Chains A and B, each alone.
Chain A
Amino acid sequence: MSPALLGLVTIAIGVSGCLGYFYLSNLFLDKVLFPPVGPNAGRNINRANMIRPWLFLGPAILALGLYLGYPVIETLRLSLTDRTQDEAFVGLANYSQMFAEPKFWEAMRNNMLWLIVVPAASTAFGLLAAQLTDRIKWGNIAKSLIFMPMAISFVGASVIFKLVYDARPAGNEQIGILNAVWLQFEGGIGSFLILKLMPAVLLLSFAAIVTYVAYLLLRPLLESAGTVLIKALRVFGAAIGLWFAYTALSNAVTVFVTELEYGAPQTWLTLPFYNNFFLMVVLIWIQTGFAMVILSAALRGIPEETIEAAILDGANPFQIFFKIKVPQIMPTIVVVWTTITLVVLKVFDIVFAMTNGQWETQVLANYMYDKLFRANDWGVGSASAIIIMLLVSPILIWNVVQARKELR
């Protein structure tokens, strides 16, 4: 049977099967098991109403349990066993083997980079786009065009950006736009301004921002408020912030002193360290639209009185944006940030299609795929999947807590 026909038959069977199941099981409950007639009518109605939710929920619970619940436990079990030894329990051997691999740490380091850069950049661009497009007449068209990459697959986007990054040997016509632009720089004053001064300034301002955040985190400690846990978290957050500031500063210096190879076409995807950023651009390009749409809805939800009051008090547009609007949509920004974080943790297709983890671009999801399906090492593969799960779990717990709060 041809697959298309098979698909149609499956749709028919699946849909009618589902409907049939729900219809018949309800019919059975009402007509046969607990009919609401006779001497026990009242009790039967109550009984039927106790069972009915589970009829409605049955298939969903089964599917969720089998396809999401069971795998979590099974993966945990697999990560503690060795497939070659007939699935014998080996304790944490897989984990220690994995921790000894440089490729794993490379993947971890890259994933951390992705986790910082992609959500931050997407949210920032999204916020910028949302704010700008809300103020103009053709804003909706502009929005739809920036939003469009959301519909493009990661693989399609990878092809799109491979063309952007394409490199030909020196002397040939460059067909990748990035190299064509790169070759316009010859090391004159323009090159200095754009390629040295601008990145350095950007890095310095980033360093300034994180230092300020670290300061904000540390300041309440002087007034000795909060529990020990909160204090510890504040110190921890501040330490991370200062580390970023330090990294940004040292990179700013590096950018300034590095000799750039003007006039030579670059194979961008093989430049160690920097190629990570070229891959991240793809995801930022896709996720910005998402951030923009959500944040734009949030911006529209801001009560107008607050903005009118600010204008009457003489606030300029920048003050209105940063001091009135942004604080009010902070919860939404957090949600956007975490949603993109989840996407980043699972990013696989982009790395798989563009570099397949070569040239120091490995990430956890691709590392796991390598282990599972190339090396056939289910133990280490499962262990790395558990690492991804661990990274996700703070968000998971936070979401569940929020949901329960809302339902109460």
Chain B
Amino acid sequence: MDNIAGRKSALSWAVNISVVLLVALWLFPTVGLLVSSFRTADQISASGWWKSLFSAEQVVQLRTGGAEAAMQEGDLWVVEGNLLEEAEDGPAPGITITRFGVSSKAVDAFAVGDTATFSKDEKTFTMDAAGTYRFTSTEKLRKRGQRVFITATLPPDFTLENYDQVLFSGNSNDSMAKAFFNTLTVTIPATIIPILIAAFAAYALAWMEFPGRVLLIATVVGLLVVPLQLALIPLLKLHLNIGIGKGYLGVWLAHTGFGLPLAIYLLRNYMAGLPKDIIENAKVDGATDFQIFTKIILPLSFPALASFAILQFLWTWNDLLVAKVFLIDATGNTTVMTNQIVELLGTRGGNWEILATAAFVSIVAPLCVFFAMQRYLVRGLLAGSVK
């Protein structure tokens, strides 16, 4: 717009840089979680996730061989070997170690090649830059080896272990697999059923003449903003009284009820905008309302149906409150992912590797839907809020 007079906007650079900053600011938190879900617990607590993307000097804790690896040389017990090769989940061999330490209080007390002595016992420890070490003691060694802290520049290192743990371990505390399927079970019927009911109602409100139509539309608009908090207790009471209790049926019905106003509103507005001629021609040709609806209106309304389906999918997938009230009972067999994550926050608040992975597992599905069908989502939001 600015260059209609033939000049390029002087602000162009500033705009580009501001947008880069804004996008970075918005992405940063999510990327942090994603990166953390690929790191081990030790890595997460040793350094901030933003440092893990680059080679960095890090301190790693390793162990020498224990008593069974020891050989006797005169009156000394000696363990020799290579720290990096022996370690099961340590850094890969081939790195250069710069410093080491034998106590957690001074993790980088010695340069490689130095000999570390221990304050109490007659022990010595020395190692070279490749991790080859010699550990001697005048007394018989304990079963577990000596702790050694090495300082080295390590390349970025990521693991899929957390996903394995969260998805396939079967550990009932950490497992998201069951919660994932439960969420799916809640989401799909809760998305499809309101669409059907709403589509018929929207057709009636858009294309049929009957007394009270305007009043009904106004009511739907009013119900659009009724906070669902109001519905919790009365409906829970109702469900318990009529025998549905807490369970899938209850949560499907609740989501259907709560989603209907928006569905009717979106679909009615869309259907009312369809060309009148098509419908009148069909009527002249002898089509019934039911035929007009299923053969003409429904296929033409696909964009609006998709818009609502996405909104309702995101809403039901991400919901916590409705599931907590209407679905999850004392046994916890029907827990959904959002609830599982909240529980993990309580029980494993410090275990970021589990938390981050669990959260990411729950975020992936909506993100895929989001990126695949963003167009319809935008359209739905525009139609649902702009009046």
Binding site for B on A (CB under 8 A): 3-4, 6-7, 10-11, 14-15, 18-19, 22-23, 26, 30, 49-50, 52-54, 56-57, 59-61, 63-64, 66-72, 74-75, 78, 128-129, 132-133, 135-136, 139, 142, 144-156, 158-164, 166, 168, 173-177, 180, 285, 288-290, 293-294, 297-298, 304, 307-308, 311-312, 317, 332, 335-336, 339, 342, 345-346, 348-349, 352-353, 365, 368-369, 372-373, 378, 381-382, 385-386, 388-389, 392, 395-396, 399-400, 402-404, 406-408
Contact = CB atoms under 8 A, between A and B. Distances in A.
A153 B317 contact: yes
Contacts, number: 346
Given A15-B193, A59-B197, A372-B232, A317 B2 contact: yes
Given A68-B257, A75-B230, A132-B22, A290 B5 contact: no
B166 to A, nearest CB: 13
A238 B66 CA distance: 77
Nearest first, the 10 A-B pairs at minimum CB distance are: A67-B257, A153-B318, A60-B201, A74-B234, A151-B370, A56-B204, A71-B231, A159-B359, A7-B185, A71-B234
A353 B367 contact: no
Q: How large is the interface on B (under 10, 10 to 19, 20 to 34, 35 or more residues)?
A: 35 or more
Given A180-B50, A403-B387, 10 more contacts: A53-B204, A53-B213, A61-B216, A136-B15, A153-B366, A159-B341, A297-B378, A346-B229, A372-B232, A399-B221
Given A7-B185, A396-B226, A403-B218, A144 B359 contact: no
Interface in B275-328: 288-290, 293, 314, 317-321, 324-325
Contacts of B352: 163, 166, 175
Given A57-B201, A151-B367, A317-B9, A146 B23 contact: yes
B223 A64 contact: yes
Interface of B: 1-2, 4-5, 9, 11-12, 15-16, 18-19, 22-23, 26-30, 32-33, 36, 44-50, 181-182, 184-185, 188-189, 192-193, 196-198, 200-201, 203-205, 208, 210, 213-214, 216-235, 237-238, 248-249, 252-254, 256-258, 260-261, 264, 288-290, 293, 314, 317-321, 324-325, 334, 338, 341-342, 345, 352, 355-356, 358-359, 362-363, 366-367, 369-371, 374, 377-378, 381-382, 385-387
Given A148-B370, A160-B29, A72 B257 contact: no
A129 B18 CA distance: 9
A392 B359 contact: no
Contacts of B189: 7, 10-11, 14
Contacts of B321: 348-349, 369
Given A155-B320, A175-B45, A317-B2, A71 B230 contact: yes
A154 B229 contact: no
Contacts of B363: 151-153, 156
A101 to B, nearest CB: 18
Contact of B252 (A10, A49, A159, A368): A10
Contact of A335 (B22, B197, B386): B386
Contact of B48 (A6, A180, A369, A408): A180
A265 to B, nearest CB: 12
18 contacts: A10-B249, A18-B200, A52-B204, A53-B204, A57-B200, A67-B231, A71-B234, A132-B15, A136-B15, A148-B367, A150-B314, A290-B381, A294-B381, A297-B382, A345-B227, A372-B232, A396-B222, A407-B214
A389 B230 contact: yes
Question: In the complex, which of the residues A70, A152, A173, A311 has the most CB atoms of chain B within 10 Å of its own CB atom?
Answer: A152
A179 B321 CA distance: 31
Contacts of B205: 57
B227 A349 contact: no
Contacts of B184: 4, 7
Given A3-B248, A4-B185, A159 B356 contact: yes
A263 B345 CA distance: 28
A392 B258 CA distance: 16
B29 A75 contact: no
Contact of B385 (A54, A142, A155, A336): A336
B218 A6 contact: no
B345 A177 contact: no
A335 B382 CA distance: 11
A311 B1 CA distance: 9
B84 to A, nearest CB: 22
Nearest to B339: A155
A147 B23 CA distance: 10
Given A23-B290, A369-B321, A67 B256 contact: yes
B196 A15 contact: yes
A160 B15 CA distance: 28
Contact of B229 (A4, A148, A385): A385
B234 A293 contact: no
Nearest to B387: A402
Nearest to B290: A26
Contact of B197 (A63, A146, A176): A63
B345 A162 contact: yes
Question: In the complex, which of the residues B46, B289, B338 has the most CB atoms of chain A within 10 Å of its own CB atom?
Answer: B289
Question: In the complex, which of the residues A18, A53, A78, A339 has the most CB atoms of chain B within 10 Å of its own CB atom?
Answer: A53
B73 to A, nearest CB: 40
Contacts of B237: 74
A399 B387 contact: yes
B208 A135 contact: no
Given A7-B184, A67-B253, A290-B381, A152 B229 contact: no
